[in-house]
Amino acid sequence: MPRILITTDYLRPGDEADRYLRKHGHTTVHAPMTGRRDPAQLVAALEGIEGALVAHEPLSADVLSRAPHLRAVVRTGVGYDSIDVAAAAELGITVSNLPGVNAGAVAEYTIGLLLATARRLVQSAVGVAAGGWPREDGHELRGSTLGLIGYGAAARALVPLARAFGMRVLCTTGVPRAERTDAPVRFVELPELLTASDYVSVHTALTERTRGLLDASAFRRMKPTAVLVNTARGAVVDEQALADAVRGGEIAAAALDVVSEEPLPADSPLRDVDGITVFSHLAGQTAEARAAAGIQGAAELVAALAGHPRSAVNAHLLPHTPTARRDG
């Protein structure tokens, strides 16, 4: 019976995903991982494993090469930048993600960050807890401009919510023009988006092109009253440049659900910056999204181990027989 490793911390023995995998003839091994993942710990957990349901574990080329039985990896989410997909393909390992599985959760959460920042909700609660009674003015979302960097499922789900609050929506994306179907959205290049937006929300994948995309020059283009929201990947933002921009008044604030290194290191430049609030990567963490990710991830893993992955991100790199693990 193929052995399946499950490291996603909210998946549990006996839950729907676990039952699905066992119903299809697999043995499950639960090793939930949180915080910083040690490569040696991953290698040990992958011993004798043929398929894995994972969160953000750093599956490097070295780790993958030391898991000789592994044939399929499924991310219980959308981003997969923590996995060396090219190395996986060289080894005959399929790597899949779950496109759109938590888009609604991320879109709602983004609205929450916009409201919390615009109305200074965190500062108010912290002030009250400290014995004060803060009464600073906030801002309404109505009539403001939201700039979306990226046009994936979460960004698309965010558009009607933002419009319901009376926001204008701009977007910069590499998505082909034929797929830009939202009539209320105006598609522009990044410099125009940064200059015109009151709120800039990041929804792009992390690639070599987008790594550090929002740097010091980008922040200089933004309004001094602008707010940055990031629910995508931390490394899209140059964190030192962001801290400098907020401290220097080049932009007003930032609400970050993701950072380059998670959990946030003690020496991060984002700490102790008035106007920057960091949250603990919660955008997709709803009971509904987690349940969907678990069962969809289990179904994708069963399909991948059978040689028929439906959302393999490295399909174009794989050998013709993806179920045959290559040892060379």
End-to-end CA distance of the chain: 25
Within a 13 Å sphere around the CA of 34, how many CA atoms are in the beta-carbon half? Answer: 5
Residue pair 133/139 in contact by the 8 Å Cβ criterion? no
Count of CB atoms situated within 10 Å of the CB of 186: 16
Which residue, chain included where needed, has tokens 């998670």? 262
Per the CB < 8 A criterion, the answer to whether 266 and 240 are in contact is: no
Instruction: Give the SS3 label for residue 38.
Output: coil
Backbone φ and ψ for 267, nearest 5 degrees, come out as: -100, 15
The catalytic position among 12, 66, 262, 325 is: 262
Catalytic residue among 233, 239, 250, 290: 233
Contact 262, 234 (CB under 8 A): yes
Catalytic site includes residue 281: yes
Distance CA 297, CA 282 (A): 19
Whose CA is closest to 218, among 291, 91, 42, 226?
A: 226
Cα–Cα distance measured from residue 325 to residue 320, given in angstroms and rounded to the nearest whole number: 11
Opening angle at CA 217, ends 213 and 222, nearest 5: 95
Catalytic residue among 75, 203, 281, 290: 281
Catalytic residue positions, numbered: 233, 262, 281
